[in-house]
Structure 1
Amino acid sequence: MKTIKLALITLVVITLFAACDATSSDSVTLNSEEVIKPSVTLAEPKSAESISNPKSEPQIQQGFNTTDPVPFIIRTPAKQAREPFFLPDENVKETKNLFHKDYSLNQINSKQFDETAYGFFVVIQYDDGTILDYSLDKVNNKYFVKRFTLAGKYQPHEPFNNIHKDIIYKILEISGADDPELFFQELISSPKITKYKGCTVQQKQSKYAMVDLTSCEFDNRTDLSLYNSKSNP
């Protein structure tokens, strides 16, 4: 009889252990699911944060600059978006005739000129790589200069060479300078603005436009530009 009772007790104990194991296993399974689900959810923002981590920005920027560097010169005043400035008819005629003289033909590598009812533009490349680029809009039979730039190699001390001095003086005359040669000397002698990284900027106001002389060593470029100084970029 004692043997039968002992066997029954053992059977009950084994059954209880088995039930406890089953319950414990189920609870682990449920807890595991509850833990896994949030862990997956939390992993996504962490991944997004790692992509936008500031530590990774210099690497991205460095790769961008290596493949497609942004020229310093485009950050300077003359390269910002500005309103066109008015140019009288007489100056417009001078502009049209300025670069079509026979004496300059042997210095020109290529030339593009286009005129429509809405204005005209010119792009001229000289043999030494200097490029003249200007564009005028015609509005209500009046002309407004949208772009006017003579771009050459980096020459901060003697901007442009003697071959282009006549062209520069003509540009300054078109801008409204009474004495273009004196105006240019005063321009290159004016204080240099150095707050634009990698570039020096010199400016002098003419009658119709601001005359801007910008040199950027990194870009190996010196620009003489006309723009509307009264409009804020």
Structure 2
Amino acid sequence: MAGNSVRPASIGVGPALRRAREIAGITPDEAARDTRLTTQQIGALEREDFDLMGEEVYVRAMLRTYAQYLGLKPDKVMSAYARHAEEPELPSPPAKLGRVEQALAAARIRDNQRFLLIAAAVLLIAAVAVGIVSRGGVPPPATIPTATTPFVSPTPGPGVGVTVNATAGVNVTATIDGVGQPTTQLGPGGSISYSAVQDLTVSVSDGGAIRIVVDGRTLGVPGSAGRPWSETFVASGAAAEPSP
């Protein structure tokens, strides 16, 4: 990022994006096609190579677009990124410049500051406009069901992933980081996967008609036949008490 640096340690945003994409069964090429980003930009986001992506306003826009596409909560992803992004340092005029040269250098610095303020204002207006349109009836991104092939757990990282494998007909719903997802009907042998940055609640109409896999660990049949079942999973791997 020009004029901006990010702490060298992983901040967790990139691994969470990669994990969500892999759990959904989406390739980098497919993600680039759907979001109109390049595969290099997708890779840079997942590796947290933000220096390769230009000014911070562009990095933030790409992060928000990719997080929303993967079904993650954009505000939480942006908040995690913002906590680790450092403020840019403004260059000072060279000490050996004459009075005229120093005045010109200071004027260029002020012009750069004005440009950054204008760019930030334009981005804020665009974000508000998109938010208003979204509240007007655009549904949240649908969870992408996986194929019936066995679930392969990605490399462990921040977040939590849950796969529901149906042994009989069952309705499945989920709430990802506080955002409700559409109900999905599964037949025998069907499956669906979800991922979240912080917490994930899965609810089914028949707790005895499914098998649960959490972060690659098979937990088996979680409920009783013919009775609804619901449980919340958090990023640490600990689960809340299931509802009756």
TM > 0.5 between the two?
A: no
Name which one, 1 or 2, has greater alpha-carbon Rg: 1
Higher-helix-fraction structure: 1
TM-score, normalised by the number of residues in structure 2? 0.23
Higher-strand-fraction structure: 1
TM-score, normalised by the number of residues in structure 1? 0.24
